[in-house]
A and B are shown apart, each in its own frame.
Chain A
Amino acid sequence: MTSLVHTDTGVVDKIATGIPGFDVIAEGGLPRGRVTLVAGTAGSAKTIFSAHFLAAGISAFGEGGVFVTFEDDPDDIRRNVRGFGWDVAAWEAAGKWAFVDVSPEQEGPPPVVGQFDLGALLARIEHAANRVKATRVVLDSMSALFMTIGDRALLRTELYRISMALKRAGRTVVFTSERIDDYGDITRFGIEEFVADNVVLLRNILVEEKRRRTVEILKFRGAPHQRGEVPFTITDEGIVVIPLTAEELTQKSTTVRIPSGVAELDAMCNGGFFRDSIVLVSGATGTGKTLLVTQFLDGGFKTDEKCLLFAFEESRDQLARNAQAWGIDFARMERDGLLRVVNQYPHAMPMEDHLVRMGGIVEEFQPMRVAVDSLSALERVFTLRAFREFVITFTSMLKRRGTAGLFTSTTPSLLGGGSVTEKHISTLTDSIILLRYVERFGEMLRSIAVLKMRGSLHDKRLRQFTIDGEGMHIGEPFRDVSGILSGVHTFVGMEGTTATEKSVGDGAHDGGD
């Protein structure tokens, strides 16, 4: 997941688009004074991308923009982007935005007698661009122009002429084109990519019956950029690209420890969790995952740290009642401004939207600790790939902020076993804590183990724990049990048990994972 960067870095100046996340994958933005083709199938958000490029230019950088529309009526565009908070009419009045309206007319294109060119179009675009001092010009979409004018050779020449004129004037140009197929030819006639310096692809594809939007920078002539498809979503503020970078690899990690909320667990971890670490807690239902989350939040509260809980499985009331039973007062923590509980229904949104929303809440609330209970709820509604991307992106976001994270994962079987969740994200988390049931002489006991803790010594023994009105109490290690993690455990040394640890382990291959 590392970002692949061209090493032959040219001296191409970039213009920040202002589209969130896009400038990250574009390593600064679109090459300035160049022509970029944005191609995508119908409904891939080409027009929104174009409008966002102009809108961000105006609102973030005060740069004028021209929207040449070959397809939609300007009125429709004004109305359609109003929901993103872009008041195009006001920008037009302020001399910041200009339309060149080339949308189809009712009577259709005029009949042709003899030779012609697109001189009028070029004159109109330049006129509008001069009027608003445009640094950004978008043409949306070429495909509609191609419907109007059938002469491909002429289009190729004229498109080139228009591009050159705009480039000479130092303007950065985006023009869109409709593709037939998300993974086919870049454009239908191959004309646009001949003219463009850069090619960006927008996709809107079905993966496992779920819609997935991605953006891919196919080429930036002479300029670095990230490769591959990157998801994006459309929010009420326009396009948000979600760069999936493995930032944790370059993170500087801290040696500062924070209390987990359970003193004995701190001892097992050689002094608590690391300040900026992500901990995965795995266990079957009822093993005490939510308790550990609750104590983790309480640990933050006791050290005056803001805590944020994303609860995907239980309601706020239920969580508060649980906490109360363990002597922890959520209401008070919330009153003190140290706790926020966000209830979300995982079904409601695609992965990208969850990320954007959760990221927004994190940015706004600025917590020192974030818990997610549980990741498995998300895993059930995302595709595997989306789920992994979600975890990567969310954990790197937390790490970048130096926020401690505690995520839970529900194992499918009551005894032993791992979950799909763990299989796919265990390498992404710094620490893994296992909560497991142990049946002993007809009694169900709970066990806890620190399976992994990056950068620290830790207790490698499996310990028994109990839960009472004050929460979790971790006790002595199990010394006479083997194979708990496999789900087929044996009491070593008991009557009739001749199995060694090794053979027990071998016999447990069908134990759960």
Chain B
Amino acid sequence: MATDGGGSVSAKGLGILQGQVLGVGEAKGATTIPSRSVSMYSFRLFIAGDSIRSQQAIANLRRLGEERLGGRYDLVVVDVITDPQGAESARVLTTPTLVKESPAPARRVTGDLTDAAQVMTALGLDGDHNYRSE
């Protein structure tokens, strides 16, 4: 674990980091998925570093977003290693943790999101059938 990384980042404080779109790993850059039309869904995904598990969670979520939500979603990825305060504020215990922030009510699911149907159920999105993009 990157134990040394946490300390330097912590100094940045909550104000700067919150709401900011964070990169995953070194080369990935911003990971807000631009919505093709008006976003209906806002997600925040907490991951711990650029691990295979983190990458899988992001990939699984993207696939779900495209295939089941018609791409109409925003995603903010929070790396708890570089933004531990973000994890603290959101009281996240496990990684990866996906938070559906809107539409309300907020719902959570933890794991690398391997099963899209289960994720939809866990987030209370069963009734949403945006299978095809417009």
Contacts and interface: CB of A to CB of B under 8 A. Distances in A.
A102 B3 contact: no
A149 B81 CA distance: 21
A433 B128 CA distance: 92
B122 interface: yes
A347 to B, nearest CB: 48
Interface in B45-99: 46-49, 53, 56-57, 60, 80-81, 84-85, 87-88, 91-97
A117 interface: yes
A165 B2 CA distance: 9
B53 A115 contact: yes
A119 B111 CA distance: 12
Nearest to A100: B88
A475 to B, nearest CB: 82
Contacts of B7: 126-127, 130
Interface string B1-22: 1010011011000000000000
Nearest to A101: B91
A123 B111 contact: no
B111 A105 contact: no
B120 to A, nearest CB: 10
Contact of A121 (B93, B109, B119): B93
B113 A120 contact: no
Interface stretch (A24-32, A106-114, A224-232): A106-114
Interface residues of B, number: 38
A316 to B, nearest CB: 57
Q: Which of B9, B47, B91, B110 has the most CB of A within 10 A?
A: B110
A507 to B, nearest CB: 78
A105 B97 CA distance: 15
Contacts of A101: 91
A115 B46 contact: no
Contacts of A168: 3
A148 B6 CA distance: 25
Contact of A114 (B88, B92, B115): B115
A115 B110 CA distance: 8
Contacts of A117: 48, 53, 94-95
Contact of B95 (A111, A113, A119, A161): A119
A126 B6 contact: yes
A107 B99 CA distance: 13
A122 interface: yes
B118 A126 contact: no
Given A110-B122, A124-B87, A127-B85, A116 B94 contact: yes
Q: What DSSP secondary structure best describes chain B's contact surface?
A: mixed
A425 interface: no
Contacts, number: 116
Contact of A113 (B48, B80, B113): B113
Contacts of A118: 93-95
Contact of B93 (A102, A128, A131, A161): A102
A124 B111 contact: no
B114 interface: yes
A331 interface: no
Contacts of B108: 107, 110-111
A169 interface: yes
Interface string A333-349: 00000000000000000
B91 A105 contact: yes
Given A102-B91, A123-B84, A113 B114 contact: yes
Contacts of B81: 119, 123
A107 B94 CA distance: 15
A127 B10 contact: yes
Interface string B35-52: 000000000001111000
A168 B3 CA distance: 9
A100 to B, nearest CB: 7
A128 B111 CA distance: 24
A199 to B, nearest CB: 25
B80 A123 contact: yes
B54 to A, nearest CB: 9
Contact of A123 (B6, B110, B113): B6
Contacts of A105: 91
Contacts of B6: 123, 126-127, 130
B7 to A, nearest CB: 4
Nearest to A149: B94
Contacts of B10: 127, 130-131
Contacts of B60: 114
Given A121-B93, A165-B3, 16 more contacts: A113-B109, A113-B111, A113-B122, A114-B60, A114-B113, A116-B110, A120-B80, A120-B93, A123-B48, A124-B84, A126-B84, A127-B84, A128-B88, A130-B10, A165-B1, A168-B3
Interface of B: 1, 3, 6-7, 9-10, 46-49, 53, 56-57, 60, 80-81, 84-85, 87-88, 91-97, 108-115, 118-119, 122
6 contacts: A110-B94, A110-B109, A111-B122, A116-B95, A124-B88, A169-B3
Across the A-B interface, the 6 shortest Cβ-Cβ residue pairs: A119-B48, A127-B84, A114-B111, A110-B108, A130-B7, A114-B114
